Amino acid sequence: SQTIHQWPATLVQPVGSPLSLECTVEGTSNPNLYWYRQAAGRGLQLLFYSVGIGQISSEVPQNLSASRPQDRQFILSSKKLLLSDSGFYLCAWSDLWGEPTNEKLFFGSGTQLSVL
């Protein structure tokens, strides 16, 4: 069966420090991968998605970046964190081997990032 791992679960970082969040998926190949952010009391905001190795689409231009060095690995990074980067970060995967209208997302357990 497929599983998704996301770490760390909690992170407290000072303003201006770098960030690296990692997500890996097991039990499937060539998944679509996504990074979402959820600010307190707000909805899920799509940050990046990837349909293959090295292919990254950005939805929100800011100081965050994403990379997909391997088929089932997705990394969210920042060189210098801002206070506004605080939030709940979620990685998700989906596959399109079935009909596109069957696509649903499977989420990781999330990383709560506090930038102080």
Partner 1 sequence: SQKIEQNSEALNIQEGKTATLTCNYTNYSPAYLQWYRQDPGRGPVFLLLIRENEKEKRKERLKVTFDTTLKQSLFHITASQPADSATYLCASHTTGFQKLVFGTGTRLLVSP
Q: Pick left, alpha or beta for residue 16 (phi over 0 → left; psi -120 to 50 → alpha; otherwise beta).
A: left
According to the binding rule CB under 8 A, does residue 104 interact with partner 1? yes
- Is 56 exposed, middle or buried (CB count within 10 Å of its CB: 0-12, 13-18, 19+)? middle
Question: What track of x and - describes contact with partner 1 for positions 44 through 83 (by CB under 8 A)?
Answer: x-x--x-x-----x-x------------------------
Helix (H, G, I), strand (E, B) or coil at 115: strand
Q: Which residues pair with 21 in a beta bridge?
A: 76
According to the binding rule CB under 8 A, does residue 108 interact with partner 1? yes
The span of 14-22, 34-42, 68-76, 79-87 binding partner 1 (CB under 8 A) equals 34-42
State the residues that interact with partner 1 by CB under 8 A: 32, 34, 36, 42-44, 46, 49, 51, 57, 59, 88, 90, 92, 94, 100-110, 112
